[in-house]
Amino acid sequence: MIEFPEVISIPLADWIDAIMNWLLTNMEQIFDIIRFIILQVMLAFENLFTLVPWFVIIILVFLTGWKFLGKWYDGFAFALMLFLIGTFGYWELAMLTLSIVFAAVIFSLLIGLPIGIVMARSDRAESIIKPILDGMQTMPSFVYLIPALMFFGLGKVPAIIATIIYAVPPVIRLTNVGIRTVDKEAVEAALAFGATPRMVLFDVQLPLAKPSIMVGVNQTTMMALAMVVIGSMIGAKGLGMEVLLSINRIDVGRGFEAGISIVLLAIIIDRLTHSFAKNDYTNSTEK
């Protein structure tokens, strides 16, 4: 009586395996197309970051930080952080990491923004999608590696797929919240002047919801960067791979350098994307 009866069981694992096998058998061409598209986008970012001279990237980061944060020493701090990564010997790996993160963020936005808009415009859609997002955000991130590995094999593409699944919920949620919290009077005024629902969405709701959406972009980007180490477990090269190798070899110094490099990248990306959101909020309040 103490143990749970074996007769009472739900073969959920068998059902999932059957679905996976069916997908692998019947949807192989679709997965090949998805793999090709993601790989091309990632390679475009990789070529951009690896072919541009290191000092040009540092100067661009300095100027971007100065422009959007408003103080020259903020831009200088970001430039110094990138320079430190280079002194550790991890410049190329950092650029590979950024290419994976940027590719994942691009696809997360392409998926997340439309879903967030649908949620904002339909209470039924919100009631269906919201529990799914809750489940995605509570699921251990390692779980996402399993289907990505099955459908796309080892390498950068499955790592990007797993990163997209892990990082997309924030931009969906905050797009929904941003549109729903737009002033009703602004929407009613647009409708009163003969605006169509499409015009209201693109000319009123999305511009006013932009600060909230940019916060979602910030969180999605940071979550994508957080998957760097986990993605290295299925063959994604970059700083995460260095951390994983240092763990396997118990190389504390090497792991510390790679970890610090990830932290420095995270600080730069977080501050820059946060400044974009802050500037959008300031501009919207001034209007």
> Is residue 96 within 8 Å of 156, Cβ to Cβ?
no
Chain segment 91-103, per-residue pLDDT in tens? 999 999 999 999 9
In CATH, what number is assigned to the domain containing residue 16?
A: 1.10.3720.10
- On whether the CB atoms of residues 224 and 163 are closer than 8 A, the answer is yes
Q: Name the CA radius of gyration of the chain, rounded.
A: 22
Nearest to 226 by CA among 142, 284, 125: 142
**Confidence at residue 25, expressed as pLDDT on a 0 to 100 scale:** 84
- Low-confidence stretches of the chain (pLDDT beneath 70): 1, 277-287
Report d(CA 29, CA 212) in Å as an integer: 37
Q: Burial, 150: exposed, middle or buried (Cβ in 10 Å; 0-12, 13-18, 19+)?
A: middle
Task: Specify if 125 maps to a domain.
Answer: yes
Residue 41 lies in a domain: yes
Residue 275 identity: S
Tell me if 61 is assigned to some domain: no
Q: Specify the pLDDT at position 40.
A: 92
Angle between helices 156-180 and 206-226 (to 10 degrees): 150
Residue 79 lies in a domain: no
**Predicted local distance difference test score (pLDDT) of residue 83:** 94
Q: How many domains does the chain have?
A: 1
Structure tokens at 47: 């070529």
Query: Which of 17, 34, 265 lies closest to 161, judged by CA?
Result: 34
Q: Is 1 domain-assigned?
A: no
What is the predicted pLDDT for the residue at 151?
83
So what's the pLDDT on residue 282?
54
∠ Cα 100 102 106 (to 5°): 120
Tell me which DSSP letter residue 144 carries.
G
Instruction: Report yes or no on 74 lying in a domain.
Output: no
Give the span between the Cα atoms of 77 and 120, in whole angstroms.
Answer: 39
d(CA 34, CA 184): 40
Whether the CB-CB separation of 234 and 154 falls below 8 Å is answered with yes
Other Cβ atoms closer than 10 A to 172: 26
Quote the domain boundaries for residue 94.
12-51+88-286
Q: How far apart are CA 119 and CA 179, in angstroms?
A: 9
Report field, pTM of the whole predicted structure over 0.95: no
